[in-house]
Structure formats: C-alpha cells, structure tokens
C-alpha cells in the first residue's frame, strides 16, 4: 500500500500510496496535536487554528482567494481536529497534484492570521459550539468522555469552552502554532494516481524549504483511577433521552484492540447485533442503539449509546446492563464471531475505495502507531481472534466500578441514576 517513505531535510515525513484504477489524488497533511495537548487556558486552540489557516495567505490574501482556486478545479478540501491530531486535505484530479501541494504549503506556512479575521472567526466557532450543544447526539460524546477521562486533558472539548474562544489572544495562538506546527511534526501523505518521481519533486519544492525546531508533541498519559460508577446529567426538555453507558478501554497499540472491535460489532455494531435485536426489535425500548470503541494513542473507551423513551428509561438501562453481563459471563458464539469478522472485512474494503480514505488509513496509522499495516494485515489479525479472547476482553472492560453513564434529557440531578446503578447486579 505504501510504495515509498521519504524524510525531507527539515524532518517532514512523506508517504506515497499509489492507487490503481483512479484518476484522482489526495494530499493529506497531519500534525500530532489536538485538544489533549492544550492547557486549560488554551483549550480549543488547535481547532481555532484549523479555522484560521483558511483565512488568507501572503499569496492568497482572503478565504475567497483560496476557495476560488480550489473550487476552480473541482477540488474537495477540508480540515478536521481531534484530540490526538489535526488534519488538512485536498482531493483533486491527478493532473492538479502540484496545485494541491502548493495551496496546502501556502496555507500552513504563509497564512496571515489577520487580527480582524481572528475576531470574526470567534463568532463562527461559538456558533459551532452552540450547534453541538443543541444536538444531543453530538453533545453526548463530550459528556461521556468528560466522565471517563476526568482529571486528564482528554476530558476537554475539542472546540473548547466559549470563554476561551472569546478571550484567547492572537499572540497565544501564534505561540501555540510555533510550538506544534513545525516541519518536524508534519506528516504528508499522497494517495491516488501520481508519478512517484514527479510527486517527490513537487513535495520537495513546496515543503523542504521551511525550517523549524525539532519538537515532539507531548501529552499527559491517561491512567484510569475510577473505583466507583459515575453519572453526568445534562438537562434538556426532550421526550427522548440520549444515554451513553460505557467504560475506559484500550489505545491504538494494545494487542486486545481487534478483540474489542469484534465485541463492539457483535453487541451493537449492526442491525443484526444483540443490542439492536433485543433492546429495539424485541422490547421496543429504543429507536437508536449501538456500541462503539473510540481509540486514542494511550487509551480508549467502549460505549453503548441509545435514544430511549423517558417513560421506560429505567427498564432500558437494566436490560442494556443485562446484555453486557451476559456477554461478560457467556462470551460470544462462533457464528457471531464469523459474521462480525466478515462485516468488518467488508467495511474495510468498501471504505478504501477511493484515494481520500486510503490517505486517511495510511496517514493516521503512521502518525499514531508509527507503522502502517495493510488492510490484509488488519483483516488477518481480526480473523485470528478467538471467541475466548473476545470473552476475556469483555471481562477486562465491563466492570461496574468503572461504569460511566451520561444522560441528556429532562433531568437535573444525577442522584436517582446513581441509586439505579447501585442496584445493578454484576454477574
């Protein structure tokens, strides 16, 4: 999948991932910095900077100049911020690779960060925060991770609090950028149709002339210390209650991760999963229910999330807990294991149909795991997992003392739910 790895003189790492049968190419740039690298006083700065890189450069002095040039060739482009990383990408027809590289380099190294634009963007980000808070399904993730990662920077919101966004100074943002946005931290991936020699020349032309300090991104690792269940409630006058019930789990390099992925799929990853069939189809307690594993460099979470009828909330929570206890006690069947393997295999294959997803697959693995496995290698690991290993992971993760419950609905106090959790039986 990766045909060549290159390190420029300034420390920038480059990956080439050619794709057969496409006429497109994607350039993805990743930096190993996100909200977990921020201090409380700068929470939201990674996301703020992501916005500002699109606000004009020395060569393209406005957002319009940047977007007109990319829109003019039919490009797809965007950026994203996570807790572990920030990324920027441009997807174009193969003959426009030079433009994609030049525009990204210009944005990253020649952005103006005009004070007037910074002031305008404060309002945009505050409205983005409002949008997330007005959507219970989006807000639930933040509430849940605030519980699980309490006391660690992973608990902080990616977009930050409004108080920081409204007050953080340009000088602080520039210092944060200088600390983390260095050539040494940059990982560049080119995936799709390209000539390797030409791509190498274009990369060197656009990215090798910039110099900067060789700093590594550092964060405080998360060590679970939870000894009793925790509950967080967010009041919303709704008919449907959004719940997130889950536990701390594993990071990218944990050997148990494939088994956790299979467990999550069997429990609530599909419309034929246990939770979907037993909680929604047979009992009618939920419209939406699923389980998922979120993974970070050193840790992760296992979460069951659902939209529930508030009049039957207690029954639903008890039944979800019962399903978790059954899988912990009895494990999974060989048939379930086989179906979940094939499901994940199919999803991997379908997700890697275009250059954008291949760039994401290759780049994030190298950034966060320091290696790149092919789809075939990942699939082989999944197929080597036994039913016994899935059962053991269920026993490793699902513990009442590490249970976290986040709710969004017409409730103001968590005490009633603390009492309910206290009555749940662990098998």
Query: Are 378 and 202 in contact, with CB atoms under 8 Å apart?
Result: no
Strand partners, 301: 248, 294
Question: What is the rounded distance in angstroms from the CA atom of residue 255 to the CA atom of residue 299?
Answer: 12
Q: What tokens does 178 get?
A: 């200088």
How do beta strands 230-235 and 404-409 pair? Answer: parallel
- The CA distances from residue 360 to 120, 148, 204, in Å, are 31, 27, 21
Q: What tokens does 426 get?
A: 């662990």
20, 38, 50, 335: which one is catalytic?
50
In the residue annotation, 198 being an active-site residue is answered as no
Residue that has been written with the tokens 């953080």 in this structure: 168
Residues 6+ apart with CB under 8 A from 118: 52, 170, 173
Query: Are 407 and 241 in contact, with CB atoms under 8 Å apart?
Result: yes
Residues 6+ apart with CB under 8 A from 154: 36, 83, 145, 222, 296, 299
Q: What is the DSSP string of 72-131?
A: TTT-EEEEEE-SS-EEEEEEEEGGGHHHHHHHHHHHHHHB---HHHHHHHHHHHHHHHHH
Instruction: Write down how long the chain is.
Output: 427
Q: Find the helix packing angle between 170-180 and 115-134, rounded to 10°.
A: 80
Neighbours of 304 (CB within 10 A): 23
Q: Catalytic amino acids?
A: 50
């Amino acid at each position: 999948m990766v045909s060549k790895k290159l390190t420029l003189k300034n420390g920038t790492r480059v990956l080439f991932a050619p794709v057969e049968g496409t006429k497109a190419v994607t350039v993805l740039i990743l930096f190993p910095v996100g909200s977990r690298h921020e201090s409380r006083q700068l929470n939201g700065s990674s996301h703020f900077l992501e916005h500002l890189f699109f606000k004009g450069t020395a060569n393209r002095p406005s957002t319009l100049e940047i977007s007109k040039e990319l829109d003019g060739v039919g490009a797809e482009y965007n950026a994203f911020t996570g807790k572990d990383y920030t990324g920027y990408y441009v997807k174009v027809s193969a003959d426009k690779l030079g433009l994609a590289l030049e525009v990204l380099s210009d944005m990253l190294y020649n952005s103006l960060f005009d004070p007037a634009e910074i002031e305008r963007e404060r309002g945009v980000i505050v409205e983005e925060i409002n949008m997330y808070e007005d959507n219970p399904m989006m807000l639930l993730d933040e509430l849940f991770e605030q519980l699980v990662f309490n006391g660690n920077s992973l608990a902080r919101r990616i977009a930050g609090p409004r108080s920081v966004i409204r007050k953080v100074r340009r000088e602080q943002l520039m210092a944060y950028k200088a600390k983390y946005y260095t050539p040494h931290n940059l990982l560049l991936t080119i995936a799709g149709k390209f000539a390797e020699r030409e791509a190498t020349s274009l990369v060197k032309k656009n990215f090798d002339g910039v110099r900067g300090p060789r700093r590594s991104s550092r964060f405080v690792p998360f060590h679970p210390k939870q000894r009793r269940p925790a509950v967080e409630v967010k009041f919303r006058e709704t008919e449907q209650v959004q719940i997130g019930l889950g536990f701390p789990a594993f990071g990218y390099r944990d050997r148990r991760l494939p088994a956790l992925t299979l467990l999550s799929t069997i429990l609530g990853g599909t419309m034929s999963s246990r939770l979907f069939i037993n909680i929604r189809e047979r009992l009618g307690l939920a419209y939406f229910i699923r389980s998922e594993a979120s993974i970070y460099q050193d840790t992760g979470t296992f979460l069951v999330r659902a939209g529930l009828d508030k009049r039957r909330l207690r029954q639903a929570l008890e039944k979800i807990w019962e399903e978790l206890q059954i899988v912990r006690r009895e494990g999974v069947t060989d048939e379930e294991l086989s179906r979940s393997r094939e499901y994940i295999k199919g999803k991997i294959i379908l997700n890697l149909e275009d250059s954008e997803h291949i760039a994401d697959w290759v780049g994030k693995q190298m950034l966060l795991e320091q290696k790149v496995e092919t789809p075939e290698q990942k699939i082989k690991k999944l197929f080597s997992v036994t039913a016994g290993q899935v059962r053991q992971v269920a026993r490793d993760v699902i513990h009442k003392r590490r249970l976290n419950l986040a709710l969004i609905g017409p409730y103001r106090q968590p005490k009633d739910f603390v009492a309910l959790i206290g009555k749940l039986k662990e098998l």
